Structure 1
Amino acid sequence: MGGFFGAALHGDCVFDVFYGTDYHSHLGTRRAGLVTYDREEGFNRAIHNIESTNFRPKFEKDILSMKGNIGIGCISDYEPQPLMVRSHLGTYAITTVSRINNLEEIVDRIFRKGNAHFLEMSGGDINPTELVAAIINQKSSIVEGIRYAQELVDGSLTLLLMTSEGIYAARDCMGRTPVEIGRKVSEDLSGAVEHIPTFDRNGRPISRAAEAGASPDAALAASEAQAQCGYCVCFDSFSYLNLGYIPERELGPGEIDFITPDGIEVVAEPGRAMKVCSFLWIYYGFPAACYEGQNVEDVRYRCGAKLADRDRMRGGVYPDLIAGVPDSGVAHAIGYSNASHIPYCRPFVKYTPTWPRSFMPAMQSRRNLIAKMKLIPIHDLIRGRRLLLIDDSIVRGTQLRETTEYLYKSGAEEVHIRPACPPLVYGCRYLNFSRSNSEKELITRRMIERLEGTDQVGEELLAKYCDPDSEQYRAMLEEIRKELNFTSLHYHRLDDMLASVGIEPCRLCTYCWNGKE
């Protein structure tokens, strides 16, 4: 995955871009970068590897030499970016959140048109963001190029492209990932003074207070405040709240906007169809974020309540305590506890001050070890208790099996598992939020192959394993339960999960769970 933050202000934007980008650190762990533009000094860029540290310490020295009123930053879990590009369209910086399934096909097409080369990354791959820039440069304007790239890419493509005049923001054609815009208005401009600045012939803001005949000191103060007005654009809306912005709007699917300190211009209208990723609310969205008007934390409470309702209908399970596997399972567990009136507790806590995120290392065994070492048990809350745990999902099952065994060794009598989403039967085709190299790594596929006695399972049979009312589904769950040594296992039903999200199901992507695009 990845995230981004951009700002176009009448004053200096470096502070906002630095901290706004840092607020996206939950979306990536490998690369990060900043680019600013100053009318006198031009573009200034910094890119760092953040695998061994966090974003802020890596860039604290860089921002001391950066200045400008327009800037973008990104956190990436894969390629180095933002990239600086010089072409017939001018000089620009570009960052993407994308997955390009037809990368080689596009590269071959560009080579046939005479493109000289692409720079290889350290692993020998072509940088997807560089490829997107090459696609854009095939056309006679930036907007035409972005639209061409959106149409050409099989997968998903959301991007920011920054010129010396402003920032182009483009949301994926099917809206799979979000783009949010915030508006910054200084608190000093409250009351009778309008929040919209005017400018002299040199481009300097003129205070409305000055126009209204206010005192010189008041006019100067208002003018300085107006100099900080402008707009930001980002992946996660919460990232601008503490920086003095208020929500302005969210881009629609395929929409392209041009953002300057003075306003927002829609240069390509949004489409009607949407398939926004449902996992935004279930797993990788930050609790304070809102997508399509639905807050992540609130949706997770509703998911937990639905899980509790299903258990109440099912009967036969009577836990003493409800717990969430930190961090993404906690809100789901609180929702379950609130609905069931069974106490919520933390039988283990996550030690985060020094440990990196568990999925950061390249080796799966190392990630599993770090995940285990970060969880510290509280034996007084485990010993002799029947626990019901909610995790956001089960992918391979390795970490959750080790957590369950850990709880049994610490004295738990029962460990019931309730994943907050349906069984993952398909690998995602649209986003890079999973490191799975193959669908065969999914525990569901391994259990299906065991039950069927073959790894050649057709789509018709897979559909039965995705149906929560089928015999095949129940057999798969029992195999997973035995494999991972759970006392009981019940996944969130897809219909319940979609109802929890709270937007039209036809506008949500469910490919991971049912293979339907």
Structure 2
Amino acid sequence: MLGGLFGVVSRENLARDLFFGIDYHSHMGTEVGGLAYLDEDVRVISCDISNSQFKSVIQKYYGEIKGVMGIGVISSIEDEQPLKFESKMGTFALCTAGFIRNAKELYEELIAEGASFKRTRSTPEGPVPNQTELVGEIISRGKNIIDGIETMYRKIDGAISLLLLSKDERCIYASGDTFPLALGNRGEDWAVASETSAFPNLGFKTFKFLEYREIISISENGVKTRGNVGFKKKFCPFLHVYFGFPSSDYYGVNAEIVRERCGGFLAENDDIKADLVLGIADSGFAHAIGYVKRKIELAEEKIRLKIEEFKQGKISFDELREAIIEEVRAIPPLRRPLVKYTPGWGRSYIPPTREKRELIAKYKQIPNAQLIEGKRIILVDDSIRRGTQLKDLLREKIWPYNPKEVHGRIASPPQLYPCIYDLSTRIEDLATYKAIGKIEGDISKYLDPTSQEYKLMVEKIRDMIGFTTLKFQTVENLIKAVIEAPNNKGLKEEDLCLYCWTGKY
């Protein structure tokens, strides 16, 4: 499950840096926001943000924030955090982001060992432990904090990124997982964040990207690497495709650039004639920019070839002029026949309930009828999971205004499985499942755009949602969009978790 973490050692203004650093992760969660800071003791504030923004809820505590170091979280899980622990290794506060698949087994194991849990939720299916409390209990059983974190990683089946604020050691421990962390520097001050987009406006510059499950400590004396067990790296490329803020970098690779590259791959060999390109805000907009950008580049290449033909006397000046006009006119402009009403509406994928997701999706996009009527539209979006939001969007906000055609171009491959960290989606909910049912045998035929099985699957999804035509990104091009992007700091193809598209983890 999604969540954003931010921690800082700040000699200048802890309250400002911590408050805004956490708030810059608001796109990563909708349920709980909180912070902890070290004054004379560890102080913890945790709030329900399901009906309001982090900044508006936490602002009343702003004046209470003292000291030089603190941590915070915004989460899509309803569990209270950060949490404060009293343990044999001293007092500490902890916040986490991620998901533990074997939480029930670990919870029962700890209960059998005599652990006491105070924040377990009762459900019809049985007790559900608070994830952060579970992680804290495991850490507390280590020889020290470092050993506790390493033990936790060996025990869990899942992914946990964490920040731990130690009173006794006067430092912040940080470790990133499938959803990584980055370290920022500002003179003698340090910050650690899920999103590097939290750094610039606070004056920090990205210093390094933490290795997978590397453990560092940050104090007034600087930064130390405290552990690196050498687990096999796993990274979620959907941070680049959708989850992450556009200006954020992961292992050096920028999210906006990857989205533009994805759109560029969609544009290649796409011969659909259109009057405009629409990117579904917000993340689909960057993919749409990449689509149009690549169409311009392809037109330039064709025009250069025609100029060479003219120079060689193969075509006349009039033929050259007509060829140039034809290529320029064939480039569909990027326009906004749907406009996101930003104030008050968040992301429609993150909320845990279907009702809330569909409510946000319904009201956040406003159609502009005069840009839709009679137009051939290429609609670019980051992904199709359930397909319900896109289906409703076309039925309620586009087709009623009489476009001529609406062509779907999806920047990621068909999702054949729910993300292993996604509690809100069952495999039966996926558009692919509705199209083809349970996949039996060789999955590769549903990954190959040339196979009859793949074509039939896409055609059924197209008909179900209501597009004139529909094309998806290939797995190969998605990998290229990430791995071959500029400034890659060691991210390799084998590091990418492609489970939701290929079934391989």
TM-score bracket, shorter-length normalisation: 0.7 to 0.9
- Superposition deviation, residue 367 in structure 1: 2.7
Q: RMSD in angstroms over aligned alpha carbons? A: 1.6
The answer to whether the 8 A contact 2:447-2:474 is kept is no
- C-alpha separation between the residues in 2 aligned to 1:242 and 1:499? 31
1:79-478 pair list within 5 angstroms: 79-121=79-121, 125-164=128-167, 165-172=170-177, 176-185=178-187, 229-269=188-228, 271=230, 273-311=232-270, 315=271, 317-340=272-295, 341-359=331-349, 363-405=353-395, 406-429=397-420, 431-432=421-422, 435-436=424-425, 438-449=426-437, 455=438, 457-458=439-440, 460-478=441-459
Q: State, as a whole percentage, how many aligned pairs show the same letter.
A: 38
Q: Please tell me the residue identity of whatever aligns with 2:471.
A: H
**1:79-104: CA deviation from partner (whole Å, max 9, x where unpaired):** 21110011111100001112111111
Are residues 1:56 and 2:67 paired? no
The answer to whether the 8 A contact 2:6-2:22 is kept is yes
Q: Please tell me the residue identity of whatever aligns with 1:234.
A: A
- C-alpha separation between the residues in 1 aligned to 2:204 and 2:262? 30
Structure 1 residues 270 and 362, CA gap change in structure 2 (3 angstroms): closer
Structure 1 residues 255 and 360, CA gap change in structure 2 (3 angstroms): closer
Q: Please tell me the residue identity of whatever aligns with 2:81.
A: Q
Q: What SS is found at the alignment partner of 1:425? A: coil
- C-alpha separation between the residues in 2 aligned to 1:272 and 1:358? 33
- C-alpha separation between the residues in 2 aligned to 1:358 and 1:122? 27
Q: Please tell me the residue identity of whatever aligns with 1:27.
A: M
- Superposition deviation, residue 178 in structure 1: 1.2
The answer to whether the 8 A contact 1:230-1:262 is kept is no
- C-alpha separation between the residues in 2 aligned to 1:359 and 1:332? 17
Structure 1 residues 308 and 266, CA gap change in structure 2 (3 angstroms): same
- C-alpha separation between the residues in 2 aligned to 1:15 and 1:95? 19
- C-alpha separation between the residues in 2 aligned to 1:106 and 1:48? 26
Q: Please tell me the residue identity of whatever aligns with 2:157.
A: D
Q: Please tell me the residue identity of whatever aligns with 1:131.
A: L
- C-alpha separation between the residues in 1 aligned to 2:450 and 2:460? 16
- C-alpha separation between the residues in 1 aligned to 2:208 and 2:338? 40
- C-alpha separation between the residues in 1 aligned to 2:10 and 2:54? 23
- Superposition deviation, residue 118 in structure 1: 4.4
Structure 1 residues 511 and 305, CA gap change in structure 2 (3 angstroms): same
The answer to whether the 8 A contact 1:251-1:270 is kept is no
- Superposition deviation, residue 270 in structure 1: 5.8
Gaps of 5+ in 2: 296-330, 484-490
Aligned residue for 1:42?
Answer: 41
Q: What SS is found at the alignment partner of 2:164? A: strand
Q: What SS is found at the alignment partner of 2:245? A: coil
Structure 1 residues 327 and 122, CA gap change in structure 2 (3 angstroms): farther
Structure 1 residues 272 and 120, CA gap change in structure 2 (3 angstroms): closer
- Superposition deviation, residue 509 in structure 1: 1.1
Q: Please tell me the residue identity of whatever aligns with 1:44.
A: R
The answer to whether the 8 A contact 2:42-2:91 is kept is no
Q: What SS is found at the alignment partner of 1:475? A: helix
Aligned residue for 1:31?
Answer: 32
Q: Please tell me the residue identity of whatever aligns with 2:234.
A: K
- C-alpha separation between the residues in 2 aligned to 1:232 and 1:366? 33
User: Paired residues, what number?
Assistant: 455
**1:286-328: CA deviation from partner (whole Å, max 9, x where unpaired):** 00100111111111111111100131xxx3x211111101111
Structure 1 residues 323 and 246, CA gap change in structure 2 (3 angstroms): same
Aligned residue for 1:8?
Answer: 9
Are residues 1:65 and 2:54 paired? no
Q: What SS is found at the alignment partner of 1:61? A: helix
- C-alpha separation between the residues in 2 aligned to 1:465 and 1:447? 12
The answer to whether the 8 A contact 1:51-1:360 is kept is no
Q: What SS is found at the alignment partner of 1:73? A: strand
- C-alpha separation between the residues in 2 aligned to 1:418 and 1:487? 11
The answer to whether the 8 A contact 1:14-1:36 is kept is no
Q: What SS is found at the alignment partner of 1:94? A: strand
Aligned residue for 1:226?
Answer: none
The answer to whether the 8 A contact 2:99-2:159 is kept is yes
Structure 1 residues 356 and 495, CA gap change in structure 2 (3 angstroms): closer
Are residues 1:480 and 2:442 paired? no
- Superposition deviation, residue 122 in structure 1: 6.8
**1:480-499: CA deviation from partner (whole Å, max 9, x where unpaired):** 11111110011001101110
- C-alpha separation between the residues in 1 aligned to 2:117 and 2:378? 55
Structure 1 residues 263 and 510, CA gap change in structure 2 (3 angstroms): same
- Superposition deviation, residue 61 in structure 1: 1.2
The answer to whether the 8 A contact 2:15-2:63 is kept is no
- C-alpha separation between the residues in 1 aligned to 2:209 and 2:350? 30
- C-alpha separation between the residues in 1 aligned to 2:232 and 2:350? 34
- C-alpha separation between the residues in 1 aligned to 2:371 and 2:229? 51
The TM-score, its normalising length taken from structure 2, stands at 0.87
Structure 1 residues 289 and 270, CA gap change in structure 2 (3 angstroms): farther
Q: What SS is found at the alignment partner of 1:310? A: coil
- C-alpha separation between the residues in 2 aligned to 1:254 and 1:367? 32
Range with greater deviation from structure 2 (142-151 or 460-469):
460-469
- Superposition deviation, residue 242 in structure 1: 0.9
Aligned residue for 2:502?
Answer: 514
Structure 1 residues 98 and 505, CA gap change in structure 2 (3 angstroms): same
Q: Please tell me the residue identity of whatever aligns with 1:145.
A: G
